[in-house]
Amino acid sequence: MPNYNRMDIAFDHGEGAWLFARDGRRFLDFGAGIATSSLGHGHPGLTRAIAEQAARVMHVSNLYRVPQAEQLAERLTAASFADSVFFCNSGAEANEALVKAFRKTMADEGKPERYRIICADGAFHGRTLAMISATGNAKYLAGFGPAVEGFDHVPFNNLNALRAAITPETAGILVEPIQGEGGIRPAQIEYLRGLRAAADEFSLLLGFDEVQCGMGRTGRLFAHEWAEVTPDAVSTAKGIGGGFPLGALLANERVAQHLVPGTHGTTYGGSPLACAAGNAVLDVVLAPGFLDQLRATGARLRAQLERLVAAEPTVFSAVRGQGLMLGLVCAVPNTEVQSACLTEGLLVVAAGENVIRLVPPLIISDAECDEAVARLHAAAKRCRPAMAPAATRMTAKVPAK
Ligand SMILES: *Cc1c(COP(=O)(O)O)cnc(C)c1O
């Protein structure tokens, strides 16, 4: 069906942060399949885990115990705020589970009138019928009405607006600690803390959508950890399977206890194969020192991008984000920058607010970041507006390699 606007490239294989196209071209992958191929391509630990598990047993359904899922859930809860995990296959499904769990919690706590979820402008929560309503973006809703009831929207990073939107029908709050599709827009630390305070004050549930920013992407296992805030539930997906379809809802006991048998489920979710992939990803992400290294790599990359912005002010205007979830705000159309990057052999992903996303595999090296910055600079030169004042170019600093 014509629902995707695909670029005319087909990849043959990958190796680490590199993708090799069928026509022989070679690309440095700073898109990672939209922040998903967290261990890069052809990672030996991940591919071995998948191959071995596929040969043993791929799928049994949730009629039986799945030791791989039990192990993955134990590791995720041990490393996070959560008491329990529900596995599914995508980000949208993880968010669906979160909203269902919030509504069910309120219903079981004797407040069935509390079913509404407050979401933020600029959010992205997925493409299912309910999640396009949670997302609230008119572009994604157009033609798919009527919208699913029960989602209210407030400006992002505005605590007063959020508190003013709380009504006797509010069940909870769902926000991304860093908005991904919206343009790598980080929530302020004080905002995230204020959400917890508001949730406590009004007995609401606090949920974070960490489908994109979770699983180590920002340099902590979950991005909300930077704010030292404890949510009631977190949805995650993308990076959790390293490219294998897997999603998860993590929740505390207050929320999780209400998803009793028969209330929610999935045929594929939490299969031996998907969870073997998830465990192989965690083997890397939770290895001692890995996230420390990622934070250092991210900080170094960010400093280089700041220099690039200073050197190419007619093309870029700012850097934002955390860890290896970085965005370059463009001063020319971001799609032009994206095409120029492609020409230079660098894959990046466009996002809202005229941003290009740099979300490489979490295993990216400093040398590969240097290479990406050099290619970005070459791409920027292609994008300089024709009428840019020459003086701007002459005095521009060249970013260090
Ligand atoms: C990608 C994304 C989703 C949707 O995930 P799918 O796997 O495409 O359903 C939801 N929330 C956020 C923050 C995302 O980045």
Peptide bond into 146 cis (omega under 30): yes
pLDDT confidence of residue 386: 85
Average pLDDT score over the chain: 96
Q: How far is the CA of 247 from the centre of ligand 1 (A)?
A: 10
Could you tell me what percent of the chain has a pLDDT over 90?
96
Residues 331 and 353 in one domain: yes
Encode pLDDT of 270-296 as tens digits: 999 999 999 999 999 999 999 999 999
- Domain residue limits at 114: 44-285
pLDDT confidence of residue 389: 55
Residues 23 and 112 in one domain: no
Predicted structure pTM score: 0.96
pLDDT confidence of residue 400: 47
- Nearest CA, atom 6, ligand 1: 91
pLDDT tier at 401 (50, 70, 90 boundaries)?
very low
Ligand 1 in reach of 176 Cβ (< 6 A): yes
pLDDT confidence of residue 373: 98
Q: How many domains does the chain have?
A: 2
Residue 84 has pLDDT above 70, yes or no: yes
Residue 37 in domain: no
Ligand 1 in reach of 210 Cβ (< 6 A): no
Residues 123 and 213 in one domain: yes
Residue 399 in domain: no
Q: How far is CA 27 from CA 5, 101, 141, 164, 338, in A?
A: 20, 42, 34, 48, 13
- Retrieve residue 63's tokens: 């009629």
Mean pLDDT score, 317-325: 98
Rg value, the chain, Cα: 21
Domain boundary, last residue among 285, 300, 330: 285
Q: 338 with 323: CB under 8 angstroms?
A: no
Residue 345 in domain: yes
Pocket test for ligand 1, best of 133, 181, 355, 357 (most atoms within 8 A of CB): 181
Residue 79 has pLDDT above 50, yes or no: yes
Residue 390 in domain: no
pLDDT confidence of residue 93: 98
Residue 115 has pLDDT above 50, yes or no: yes
Domain boundary, last residue among 285, 313, 331: 285
pLDDT confidence of residue 332: 98
Encode pLDDT of 55-73 as tens digits: 999 999 999 999 999 999 9
Ligand 1 in reach of 185 Cβ (< 6 A): no
> Any idea how long the chain is?
401
Ligand 1 in reach of 212 Cβ (< 6 A): yes
Residues 220 and 360 in one domain: no
| CA-wise closest residue to 333 among 394, 385, 264, 263 | 385
Residues 263 and 349 in one domain: no
Burial classification of residue 46, based on how many CB atoms lie within 10 Å of its CB (0-12 exposed, 13-18 middle, 19 or more buried): buried
Domain boundary, last residue among 285, 302, 326: 285
CATH of the domain at 229: 3.40.640.10
Compute the CA torsion angle 319, 225, 38, 124 (nearest 10 deg): -70
pLDDT confidence of residue 396: 47
Residues 107 and 220 in one domain: yes
Mean pLDDT score, 90-101: 98
Residues 63 and 197 in one domain: yes
Residue 398 in domain: no
Residues 233 and 295 in one domain: no
For residue 153, what is the enclosing H or E element?
strand 151-154
Q: 88 with 191: CB under 8 angstroms?
A: no
Residue 399 has pLDDT above 60, yes or no: no
Pocket test for ligand 1, best of 211, 215, 266, 349 (most atoms within 8 A of CB): 211
Residue 391 in domain: no
CATH of the domain at 324: 3.90.1150.10
pLDDT confidence of residue 70: 98
Residues 296 and 248 in one domain: no
Q: How far is the CA of 237 from the centre of ligand 1 (A)?
A: 7
pLDDT confidence of residue 369: 98
Residues 123 and 153 in one domain: yes
Mean pLDDT score, 12-20: 98
Q: How far is the CA of 270 from the centre of ligand 1 (A)?
A: 18
Residues 266 and 173 in one domain: yes
Residues 361 and 278 in one domain: no
- N- to C-terminal Cα separation, the chain: 43
Residue 236 has pLDDT above 90, yes or no: yes
Ligand 1 in reach of 125 Cβ (< 6 A): yes
Residue 328 in domain: yes
Encode pLDDT of 355-393 as tens digits: 999 999 999 999 999 999 999 999 999 999 986 555 555
